[in-house]
Amino acid sequence: MTLERRPGVEVRRVDAARRIGAAEIDAALFPLERSVSELAVDAIPPLLCRLSALQGALAAQLLTRADNGAPPTPAEPDRLLSVEEAAAILNVTPQWLYRHPRLPFVRKLSRKAFRVSETGLRRWLAARKG
């Protein structure tokens, strides 16, 4: 990641082990809040764009962080089942699955071949039971 150097702007890298607290954020934003009325009109649109990008990044962090700020654990990759395996789980014949290719867990591989998402199949079954 490259950092853009600007005159009069202090750039600090934050060690991954050290998290920034609310007091540090307030201290960093205070000069900006104080000088809003002094900003040149042509400096406002780029600043708004950067603030919007920052807001999006913060929202993404908020949504992806679980368990009090711990990074989320990676999900297991989805396994694609053969038609025969999926039919056994559903307790139907493979022909039944071939006749219902528009089910939400079916993944089309080519014009004549498809597999079944195991995760999607389990979710679909859980939704039908619940």
Q: Domain residues for 109?
A: 80-129
pTM for the model stands at 0.44
Residue 38 included in any domain? yes
Instruction: Give me the number of domains the chain comprises.
Output: 2
Are residue 49 and residue 85 in the same domain, yes or no? no
Are residue 86 and residue 119 in the same domain, yes or no? yes
H/E stretch holding 13 reads none
Three-state DSSP state, 16: coil
Ordered alpha helix ranges (H), the chain: 22-34, 44-64, 83-90, 94-99, 118-129
Residue 7 included in any domain? no
Are residue 85 and residue 60 in the same domain, yes or no? no
Residue 97 included in any domain? yes
Residue 28 included in any domain? yes
In tens, the pLDDT along 77-92 reads 889 999 999 999 999 9
For the chain, how long is the longest CA-to-CA vector?
A: 73
Give CA separation, 56 vs 51, 59, 62, 80, 117, in Å: 9, 5, 10, 34, 31
In tens, the pLDDT along 51-87 reads 888 888 888 777 776 555 566 566 778 899 999 999 9
If we measure between CA atoms, which residue out of 106, 103, 124 comes closest to residue 115? 106
